[in-house]
Amino acid sequence: MSEELKKVRSVLAEAQNYHHACAVLNFDQETICPTKGVQEQGEVNAYLSNQAFKLLKDPAFEAAAEAAYAQRAEFDEVDRTLVSDLHKRYLHTKNVSPELDHEFSLIYNKAFVDWLGAREASDYSMFEEALTGVRDVCVKEVGLRAEDADFPKAADLYDNLLDDYETGITTADLDMIFGRCKERLLPLLKKIVASPKKIRTDFLSVRASDAQQREMADWLLHVLDYDFSRGGWTTTEHPFTSTLGKNDIRVTTHFYPDMFYASMYSIIHECGHALFDQLTPIRHHESYIGDCKTMGMHESVSRFYENRIGRSEAFIHLIYPKVCEVFPQVMEGVSERELYEAMNLVEPSLIRTEADELTYTIHIIIRYEIEKEFIAGRVSAAELPALWRAKYKEYLGVEPQTDREGILQDVHWTFGFGYFPTYAIGNFYNAMYYNRLVKELDLDSIVAAGDFKTLNAWMSENVFAKADLQTPKEWIKGITGRSLTPDDFLDYLEEKYSRLYGL
């Protein structure tokens, strides 16, 4: 190891301590922190994050990191990834002082606090100013970025934000991909809505206690082979996964008394994220590249477990006896087939996190189209609720009556823009590698038997192993031999739901 790389690792180890502390505070802030303590907690988090930022802005560290980057051809794949990632971060923050970084952090924290209050009151006006502030920070931050031949800035402002979450993906890619989705999904949705097939749903709103939902969520995590020696779980308003360290990867869910299944599928979704990080090669964590995987990669895995596995006939067969045992008042007189159909109900709705797998992509397209316009300055924050309602009416035929069930439902805009498209991209990725997986494993038999060690081992070897080391386009081509396409996903939806609804 070169002297420069040794210096880099030494500083990163110290910075990691601050990042770990920030992750703990953030987890606390979103789970059990009292309402009046949220802002103070966020301010402490911003302070600690800024201490880590200062370490990485130290001229001696920057010099060592840049020297190591110049030597990257001499390093192995892991260390080459590390110094390349550091060089990209250096360009992004070269013109950002520690004082300005702290200022940005406080703006994001205020946006989160204001969003919480606005959501509670269902009053968008309480969040509008803060949202404009987040947009302004994003614009300013991109404007301050440096560039070079290896990492040029995109001409389009929003493309730079997309690249932060999904390297190499542009608005040109998304406009084409989402255009194809609308061409095929909107007509399919109309056929389903018009279908005479009626799926039984009366039992879905039967009340279930928190204790029942807690028992079911815990059982599901065990079934999926989540490593409890390296993780834990609790409840929150908006479910998420937090990787505090290589041996501390936590998940959350939310209990709705009249939607027993919501906590089941959110815990499966978050477990997918956790498995990705738990099964990431340990050296990646120890070499500070464990978070180089993109959000599209991550969402592909979480939605693979949630939908391709969790809503399959084989998985419903596996869990049906347990669901009947834990929720007897819900499942009285409900057959396994009726549970399967209900878990795959297609119905235009207002809430993204509770949307079925067909309409979910439409929820994402709506957010993409809105934030693209907002970032470009073509619409103001004041105009967003009306635009939101209009797009929901046009694409899904439903219209929110309150801000809480409309524009205030998601936390994501409190920390920036460009994240939402990764959810849909994740669906496209997992449909592609699913088609390889079923050629190599008898997936239905494995899932029906609850043999998730076998499934997770395949995922670890073929999907997880290279995720930190490759760009998304390199990664999906390495797994499947093909470039990113929505067609596998769209073919799957058309086949599955035409069969389910007798189209």
Exactly one of 30, 141, 270, 371 is catalytic; name it.
270
Q: What percent helix, strand, coil does the chain show, rounded to 5?
A: 70, 5, 30
Are 395 and 418 contacting, i.e. CB atoms less than 8 angstroms apart? no
Element (H, E) at 57: helix 38-57
For every residue of 350-372, DSSP letters joined together read S-GGG--TTTHHHHHHHHHHHHH
C-alpha 278/C-alpha 271 separation (Å) is 10
Torsional sign, CA 354, 355, 361, 363:
negative
- Sheet strands (E) in 416-471: none
**Closest to 411 in 3D by CA, of 120, 19, 49, 37:** 120
Rg of the chain in Å (alpha carbons): 23
In b/e form, how buried is each residue of 105-134, taking b as 16+ CB within 10 angstroms? bbbbbbbbbbbbebbeeeebebbbebbbbb
Are 215 and 319 contacting, i.e. CB atoms less than 8 angstroms apart? no
Cα 423 from chain centroid (whole Å):
6
For every residue of 187-249, DSSP letters joined together read HHHHHHHH-S-----GGGGS---HHHHHHHHHHHHHHTT--GGG--EEE-SS--EEEEETTEE
Are 75 and 83 contacting, i.e. CB atoms less than 8 angstroms apart? yes
C-alpha 492/C-alpha 503 separation (Å) is 14
**Closest to 152 in 3D by CA, of 94, 97, 91:** 91
Does residue 357 carry a catalytic annotation? Answer: no
The region that residue 450 occupies, defined by phi over 0 for left and psi between -120 and 50 for alpha, beta otherwise, is: left
Q: Which residues are catalytic?
A: 270
